[in-house]
Amino acid sequence: MFGGAAPLGAQVTATTDIMLGAVGYEGFLGSGAASVAPGIRYDARTFSVAAQGSYLLYESGRGLVQAAGAAAWLSPALGPLRGEASAFGGLGSYAQAPAAGYGLARGRVHLMQRRMGTWASAGVGQAFAGADGAGTSELALGAWIAFPDLALSVTATHSRVRDSAYTDLSVSARWLHRVAEIDGIAGVRPASSIGSEGAFAELTARLALTRVVAAQVTAGRYLADPLRGSLAGRYLNAGIRITLAGGRSAVRAPDERLRSQLRLPLPLPPGAPELRVVETRLGTRALTIIAPGAGTVEIAGDFSDWQPVSLERRGGAWVFAVALPPGVHRLNVRLDGGPWVVPRGATPQTDEFGGTVGLIVVR
């Protein structure tokens, strides 16, 4: 799709989207939001690169800053076959939460005809939040057909983030006229092991008012995306796109790889360390950290006078037995000598020292 959409001549396009609207994330109340999202892309015959930044300001005064980039190269044709190599990634920082991001490298084989084609791809990458990372992978199949003003595609994508997996089936359409564009995607996630499934749909309509300015409306509902590290959400936005450089008109679809813009990063990726508290037969508690990829795990808390304690490895888990009196206990965990973090299973709370601390309750 990326290579197929590239113009014959090299072209630089720079745009800025200014939008107002409403957003709703799973687990949060709906909120008004204003956003500014500048973007730039370079398209040559066989090579494209794109970058986009964004700043989203919520009603609460908290902000979300994101940046994403993508690059793709399309190989020479070998009969009807063409190869495509691409990479994309992004970073996001919401309020005081640790920065979250992702990166994915992808290879794709196209079977192309003049106005239709199919492809298969595989990709691997990494998602992270703060110091916690998780390996990701993706397998996908797709087909597309193009008419003079309309392109349609169907895609099946199976994604895996460490032990979590999900499959998305989607149909997308793009209708492009000289002064108008409608870009939409609809699909379903039949099942997942991440607790986010069902239907999703997103639509963007854009109308060029002048050569530089286009009015646009976007709306949609999307599911949680552990690979790109975003919570499920819905949105309705209206605003303008200003085309600052290039572009034969003020309408042009953004790179599909940058779709995660303006989505709220997950607080922690599925690969983050997880804490479990188990009562032992001796009456003590065993604090167990599940962190399969870690080489060392340390814990510090009120129960250790805030001195780091190295945990004992038992398979993919790390264990520390300790006597805990009833009540609230505060702790942090560190993997491989990295920064102190709050493991899943402990409730994160802002501490009084500029960071976060995990709370556990013991009876």
The reply on whether position 359 binds other proteins by CB under 8 A is: yes
Comparing CB distances to other proteins, the nearer of 148 and 326 is: 326
83 with 73: CB under 8 angstroms? no
CA distance 170 to 183: 13
Comparing CB distances to other proteins, the nearer of 30 and 184 is: 30
Binding residue for other proteins, selected from 73, 105, 302, 309, defined by CB under 8 A = 302
Q: How many residues bind other proteins (CB under 8 A)?
A: 44
Query: Would you tell me how many other CB atoms lie within 10 Å of the CB of residue 252?
Result: 23
The reply on whether position 357 binds other proteins by CB under 8 A is: yes
Binding residue for other proteins, selected from 5, 11, 14, 30, defined by CB under 8 A = 30
CA distance 15 to 132: 33
The reply on whether position 327 binds other proteins by CB under 8 A is: yes
Dihedral class, residue 130 (left if φ above 0, else alpha if ψ from -120 to 50, else beta): left
Beta partners for residue 153, in sequence order: 144, 172
Q: Which of residues 237-266 bind other proteins (CB under 8 A)?
A: 264
223 with 189: CB under 8 angstroms? yes
The reply on whether position 76 binds other proteins by CB under 8 A is: no
The reply on whether position 198 binds other proteins by CB under 8 A is: no
CA distance 54 to 103: 18
Comparing CB distances to other proteins, the nearer of 240 and 277 is: 277
Cα dist from 274 to 69, 148, 164, whole Å:
31, 52, 14
Residue 33 C-beta: closest distance to other proteins, Å: 8
Cα dist from 131 to 41, 89, 185, 327, whole Å:
30, 17, 33, 29
The first and second tokens of residue 167, run together, are 């499959």
The reply on whether position 224 binds other proteins by CB under 8 A is: yes
Residue 359 C-beta: closest distance to other proteins, Å: 6
The reply on whether position 330 binds other proteins by CB under 8 A is: yes
Q: Which of residues 150-169 bind other proteins (CB under 8 A)?
A: none
The reply on whether position 283 binds other proteins by CB under 8 A is: no
The first and second tokens of residue 297, run together, are 């795990």
Rounded to the nearest angstrom, the gap between the alpha carbon of residue 235 and the centroid of all alpha carbons in its chain is 16
Q: Is 266 helix (H, G, I), strand (E, B) or coil?
A: coil
Comparing CB distances to other proteins, the nearer of 28 and 147 is: 28
- Of 42-50, 160-168, 288-296, 355-363: span binding other proteins (CB under 8 A): 355-363
Binding residue for other proteins, selected from 150, 213, 328, 337, defined by CB under 8 A = 328
Half-sphere exposure of 102 (CA within 13 A, CB side): 31
Comparing CB distances to other proteins, the nearer of 145 and 277 is: 277
Binding residue for other proteins, selected from 6, 21, 43, 58, defined by CB under 8 A = 58
Cα dist from 200 to 144, 188, 204, 220, 223, whole Å:
20, 6, 14, 7, 7
The reply on whether position 195 binds other proteins by CB under 8 A is: yes
Closest CA to 318 of 336, 343, 292: 292
Binding residue for other proteins, selected from 1, 23, 250, 294, defined by CB under 8 A = 23
| Residues that bind other proteins in the complex, under the rule CB under 8 A | 23, 25-31, 58-60, 62, 64, 94, 195-196, 224, 232, 264, 300, 302, 305-308, 325-328, 330, 340, 347-349, 351-355, 357, 359, 361-363
